[in-house]
């Protein structure tokens, strides 16, 4: 297994944000983590990425326990995360954002950022469709492009190794329907390269027709885990989250790509 979560718990006083969550994500799989507001999705991501420590439970990455490791240590092992609001360096150019991430070690005062691994940065930008905007200032980009840049930065910050996982916190948040489709097609392309992807999402068109598997959190507990088709028919999920009239076929028929 690639990512293994065992009995993860996170308590805030008497509030159990996570109440014994366990799941596994095989290498190369694209998995969506969904649920209503307050279900514990963001807390789960923070514990997986190292921004928060769980109250109990363990997280393993390719057999190595990473439960208490800092985010930088997890990144060195091949784990990276994005956020609901795109985290980029607004005053730099698009290419410089990638060059800064790829430099990793602190730049010396005499270094020119423009000279650091520019070819590699351009290759990374080509993957997310931003090569033509390489010299644009990030502050001038539309929000959808910033989200794609953040994804490229997360990938660029990972070491060159086979075992890599991206934790994407609402990659399609704030995007119009067409932009969401483009972003999720990009997520599928990244997963197709062998990168393990776990993402949270509120937009169901970014889940059904995209994810290989869906996990559903409610009140800090995992209540469903299965294929999108199976989860869409789960009685508890339909009653308390998706709605009885939910029809996943209406979303998958218009999906810009197929799973697998």
pLDDT digits (tens, 9 = 90+) for 179-228: 999 999 999 999 998 899 999 999 999 999 899 999 999 999 999 999 99
When divided into structural domains, the chain yields a total of 2
Q: Flag whether pLDDT at 254 surpasses 70.
A: no
Mean pLDDT value of segment 15-28: 94
The structure tokens listed for 6 are 């065992």
Same domain, 238 and 189: yes
Which domain range does residue 221 map to?
Answer: 3-78+161-252
Q: Convert the pLDDT of each residue in 62-95 to its tens digit.
A: 999 999 999 999 999 999 999 888 889 999 999 9
Q: Flag whether pLDDT at 119 surpasses 90.
A: no
Residue with tokens 């199976």: 230
Read off the CATH number of the domain in which 37 is found: 3.40.50.300
Same domain, 68 and 36: yes
Predicted TM-score of the model (pTM): 0.89
Confidence of residue 126 (pLDDT cuts 50, 70, 90): very high
Same domain, 73 and 166: yes
Same domain, 18 and 99: no
Same domain, 166 and 239: yes
In sequence order, what are the residues at sequence separation of 6 or more whose Cβ sits closer than 8 angstroms to the Cβ of residue 118?
95, 99
For residue 248, count other CB atoms closer than 10 A to its CB.
19
Q: Flag whether pLDDT at 116 surpasses 80.
A: no
Residue with tokens 């014994």: 20
Same domain, 96 and 72: no
């Amino acid at each position: 297994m690639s990512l293994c979560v065992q009995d993860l718990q996170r308590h805030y006083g008497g509030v159990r944000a996570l109440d014994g969550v366990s799941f596994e994500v095989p290498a190369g799989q694209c998995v969506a983590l969904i649920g209503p507001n307050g279900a514990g999705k963001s807390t789960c991501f923070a514990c997986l990425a190292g921004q928060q420590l769980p109250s109990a439970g363990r997280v393993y990455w390719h057999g190595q326990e990473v439960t208490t490791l800092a985010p930088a240590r997890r990144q060195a092992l091949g784990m990276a995360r994005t956020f609901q609001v795109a985290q980029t360096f607004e005053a730099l150019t698009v290419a410089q954002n990638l060059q800064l991430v790829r430099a990793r070690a602190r730049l010396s005062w005499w270094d020119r950022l423009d000279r650091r691994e520019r070819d590699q940065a351009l290759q990374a930008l080509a993957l997310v469709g931003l090569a033509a905007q390489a010299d644009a200032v990030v502050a001038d980009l539309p929000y959808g492009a910033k989200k794609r840049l953040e994804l490229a930065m997360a990938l660029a910050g990972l070491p060159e190794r086979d075992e890599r996982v991206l934790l994407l916190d609402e990659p399609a948040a704030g995007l119009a329907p067409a932009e969401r489709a483009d972003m999720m097609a990009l997520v599928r392309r990244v997963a197709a390269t062998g990168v393990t992807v776990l993402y949270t999402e509120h937009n169901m068109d970014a889940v059904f027709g995209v994810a290989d598997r869906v996990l559903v959190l409610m009140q800090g507990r995992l209540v469903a885990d299965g294929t999108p088709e199976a989860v869409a028919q789960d009685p508890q999920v339909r009653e308390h989250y998706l709605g009885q009239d939910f029809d996943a076929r209406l979303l998958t028929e218009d999906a810009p790509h197929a799973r697998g």
